[in-house]
Amino acid sequence: MAIGGLGSGLDFLFDENTAEVPVKRTLRLSEIEPNREQPRKTFSEEAISALADSIRQYGMLQPILVRPYGMTYQIVAGERRWRAASLLGLEEVPVIIKEFSDKETMQIALIENLVREDLTPLEEAAGFRDLMDQFDMTQEAVSKSIGRSRSAVANALRLLQLPQPLQELLECGKITAGHARALLAISDPDLQLETARRCAEDGMTVRAVEKLAAEQAAKAEKPAKKRKTTDQYYKEMELELTDRLQRKVSVTYGRKKGTLMLEFYNKEDLASLAKQLTELAEQEF
């Protein structure tokens, strides 16, 4: 089964054009069991209580999606609704019964979790990565499955590159995802951490971080260009000497001085090398 865009909830699973017609009915709560492999391990008691109040007032507006599982039925999507119904003491709940493989069940559970509104940026990014790693999905496929743009998925995945101290600041809400993405552009680890602390403690803005990152990149770029030209000169000289002297030549350099290393094998070879160097000194390179 191809997993498409979610649209509203998981309505894409119940497309009337599908060859597999899902069965709509009610089941007793005792006939339904949660998926023990469900990637979401914790549920907010406060959120479940609020959902239970909504169900008490308006009823369960969206059925729970289940699949046949031995003598019972296993939840594919809708465990929060099942928990809220249990909290209310309901005996039966509306369900949609549909056949799914273990792989499809896990994939749907991951996608359902990703459309929640209470995910942290890092939880969301980890969910995108899990879909890509476990189900060989591309960024484009992930974006379609959750109804987001591909660039939004790509930007979220970048957060997983953050060093651990910055991930902790993001996870506890001391910096925003915007701050985090701007901080990734700072290549100096010490400056990156110091800037993150300024964001968390002094309220440094995202735009200020972006400006700082751009300034650092500009400073790093200028000496890099000069160094590249210098590197090429010494490399060419090394090759020229190797060709003329017919031996291994190594040229290294630092800020104020360099080293020329010439290989020789015995006294006679050293005398020959000295003669070659004398002749070369009289020529122009």
pLDDT of residue 32: 95
Question: Does residue 275 share a domain with residue 242?
Answer: yes
Please state whether 136 falls in left (phi above 0), alpha (psi between -120 and 50) or beta: left
pLDDT of residue 19: 43
Which residues constitute the domain of residue 234?
227-281
Q: What is the pLDDT of residue 14?
A: 45
Where would I find the H helices in 184-266? 189-202, 206-245
Nearest to 47 by CA among 1, 76, 79: 79
Question: Active site includes 79?
Answer: yes
Exactly one of 45, 79, 171, 284 is catalytic; name it: 79
- Cα–Cα distance, 51 to 80 (Å, whole number): 8
Q: Examine residue 252 and state whether it is found in any structural domain, yes or no.
A: yes
> Are 180 and 160 within 8 A, CB to CB?
no
In a domain, 144, yes or no: no
Is 220 part of any domain? no
pLDDT for res 7: 38
Mark whether 60 and 106 lie in a shared domain: yes
Asked if the structure places residue 79 within a domain, the reply is yes
pLDDT in the model for residue 52: 93
Kindly report each contact of residues 37-45 with a partner whose C-beta sits within 8 Å and lies 24 or more positions away, as own/partner: 37/102, 37/105, 37/106, 37/109, 38/75, 38/79, 38/109, 39/106, 39/109, 39/110, 39/113, 39/127, 39/130, 40/79, 40/109, 40/113, 43/79, 43/80, 43/83, 44/118
Q: Is there a single domain that holds both residue 18 and residue 111?
A: yes
The DSSP output letter for 22 is P
pLDDT value of position 66: 94
* One domain for residues 236 and 256: yes
Contact in structure between 74 and 67 (CB atoms under 8 Å) = yes
Task: Give the residue carrying structure tokens 């003329």.
Answer: 244
Query: Would you say residue 130 lies in a domain?
Result: no
Continuous segment of H or E residues that includes residue 251: strand 249-253
Length reported for the chain? 285
Residue 168's CATH number: 1.10.10.2830
Q: Is residue 47 in some structural domain?
A: yes
User: Within this chain, do residues 38 and 113 fall inside the same structural domain, yes or no?
Assistant: yes
List per-residue pLDDT tens for the chain, 285 residues long: 444 444 334 454 544 434 454 677 899 999 999 988 776 767 888 889 999 999 999 999 889 999 999 999 999 989 999 999 999 999 999 999 999 998 888 888 888 878 776 778 998 899 899 889 988 889 999 998 888 898 999 999 999 999 999 999 999 999 999 999 999 999 899 999 999 999 999 999 999 999 999 998 888 766 655 555 557 888 888 888 777 777 778 888 777 788 888 877 778 778 878 887 887 777 654
Please report whether residue 133 resides in a domain.
no
pLDDT for position 229:
53
What is d(CA 55, CA 102) in angstroms, rounded to the nearest whole number?
29
**Both 109 and 16 in a single domain?**
yes
CB distance 12 to 104 below 8 Å: no
Tell me, what CATH number does 38's domain have?
A: 3.90.1530.10
Separation between Cα atoms, residue 248 and residue 261, nearest integer Å: 8
Of 83, 118, 153, the residue that ends a domain is 118
What's the total number of domains in the chain? 3
The verdict on residue 178 lying in a domain is yes
Q: Are residues 252 and 171 in the same domain?
A: no
